């Protein structure tokens, strides 16, 4: 319908425009640790800070103009999340057991569901399915917002009364 002749600077602008939307689709903002995220246990807090670090690193790679970094961002983040989750979930569940946390069973299920989700995405990628970076960063962000900042906060009173 339209036959628009683009000059070089227009083409560059459109590439930037597409990149902008790709970034907007991928990432929100870097997350900074705040005391309000604390569950009252230094080791758990440090591990949660590590989660934020994985998110921020993935975010930075995904908005990078370096195509290699951009392309590896999702797979790298998944591998880091898997290793992190295996260690952190075991540590957290063990601590919850020692403090007789009353929602331990449901909390363990949240952890298992999340691991299942991560493993499925890794499996999909290895089977050749293209998984968008935006989907991966959203998975990390959702976990941060809905689990660390909500579910994990429930152990706070148990730590304080110990
Ligand atoms: Fe946690
Ligand atoms: Fe947890």
Question: How do residues 62-91 score in pLDDT, each as one tens digit?
Answer: 888 888 888 888 889 999 999 999 999 999
What per-residue confidence (pLDDT) applies to 160?
A: 65
How far apart CA 95 and CA 41 sit, in angstroms, is 10
Which sequence spans correspond to the domains of the chain? 8-160
Q: Which ligand is in closest contact with the Cα of 49?
A: 1
Distance from Cα 135 to the centre of ligand 1, integer Å: 21
Number of H helices, E strands in the chain: 6, 0
pLDDT tens digit sequence for 17-68: 334 445 445 446 788 899 989 999 999 999 999 989 998 999 888 888 888 8
Distance from Cα 151 to the centre of ligand 2, integer Å: 6
Considering the domain delimited by 8-160, tell me its CATH architecture: Up-down Bundle (1.20)
| Strands, E assignment, 63-110 | none
Distance from Cα 13 to the centre of ligand 2, integer Å: 44
CA angle 77, 45, 110 (to 5 degrees): 60
Distance from Cα 131 to the centre of ligand 1, integer Å: 25
How far apart CA 88 and CA 82 sit, in angstroms, is 10
């Amino acid at each position: 319908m339209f036959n628009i002749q683009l000059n070089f600077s227009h083409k560059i602008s459109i590439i930037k425009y597409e990149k902008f939307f790709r970034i907007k689709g991928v990432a929100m903002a870097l997350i900074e640790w705040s005391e309000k995220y604390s569950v009252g246990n230094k080791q758990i807090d440090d591990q949660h800070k590590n989660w934020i670090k994985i998110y921020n690193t993935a975010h930075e790679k995904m908005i990078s103009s370096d195509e290699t970094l951009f392309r590896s961002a999702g797979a790298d983040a998944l591998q880091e999340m898997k290793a992190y989750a295996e260690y952190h979930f075991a540590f957290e569940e063990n601590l919850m057991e020692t403090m007789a946390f009353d929602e331990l069973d449901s909390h363990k299920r949240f952890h298992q569901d999340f691991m299942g989700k991560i493993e499925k995405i890794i499996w999909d990628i290895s089977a050749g399915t293209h998984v968008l970076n935006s989907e991966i960063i959203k998975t990390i962000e959702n976990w941060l917002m809905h689990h660390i900042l909500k579910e994990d906060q429930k152990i706070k009173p148990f730590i304080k009364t110990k």
